[in-house]
Amino acid sequence: MHYVIMGCGRVGSSLAHSIESRHHSVAVIDVDVEAFRRLGPEFHGTTVKGVGFDRDVLLASDIEHADGFAAVSSGDNSNILAARVVRESFGFDNVVARIYDQGRAVVYERLGIPTVATVRWTADQVLRRLVPDGIAGLWHDPSGTIQLVEVPCHVGWVGRAIRAIEQDIRTPIPAVTRYGSAMVVNDSTVLQSGDIVYAMVESGRIHDVQTTMSAPPMEH
């Protein structure tokens, strides 16, 4: 899989190495070529000079074949603009933008652009949302038998009823976050693009659930 990152600061360079360590390809965009020094000689991906909202720059990063895009530069406006260009011009939803202003983050979440605003957790949060094999445990019972996890979903699941998805993965899905607001799932809830899905999973089945949800659903 291929990922594109705009911004080669501490977060961007850390994210690039984390994705490479998972055996994915990475392209990093930055306006300052000196910033690429942070990647070090062990980085094997592509570096592209420019801004992430420039179409030619994005094409040079192989955005057309990318599986996800992260805008983690130091500018809120640049990050949001780049995220919107990628979503609207290249038509895929796996986009995350780093935002310093918490108030802005809420607004953009409601527009369907996932954002990460807490600086201390930025790299981990972006990685978890961007890379499908980044399933995250949010809670577990004292024995460790059951966990509440955030499950990355392949776009192929969009449009399916949550109750039907529960049957496919044999796991309860108690809630989703949509446009920045959490909601309890009911019988009429349908998965929408940009939803964050929370599943209550037996610890021994987390890998199975992750594998199923990160791939297109099988047709019955």
> Alpha-carbon distance 28 to 31, whole Å?
10
Is 207 a residue whose pLDDT tops 90? no
Q: Which amino acid is at 215?
A: A
pLDDT digits (tens, 9 = 90+) for 6-27: 999 988 999 999 999 989 999 9
> Alpha-carbon distance 76 to 187, whole Å?
38
For the chain, what is the mean pLDDT? 86
Determine what percent of the chain is predicted with pLDDT higher than 70: 84
Question: What value does the mean pLDDT take over residues 104-126?
Answer: 63
What tokens appear for 89 in the block?
Answer: 């011009």
Residue 23: closest CA among 1, 48, 38, 8: 1
> Alpha-carbon distance 105 to 213, whole Å?
27
Question: What value does the mean pLDDT take over residues 123-138?
Answer: 62
Domains of the chain: 2-130 (3.40.50.720), 136-213 (3.30.70.1450)
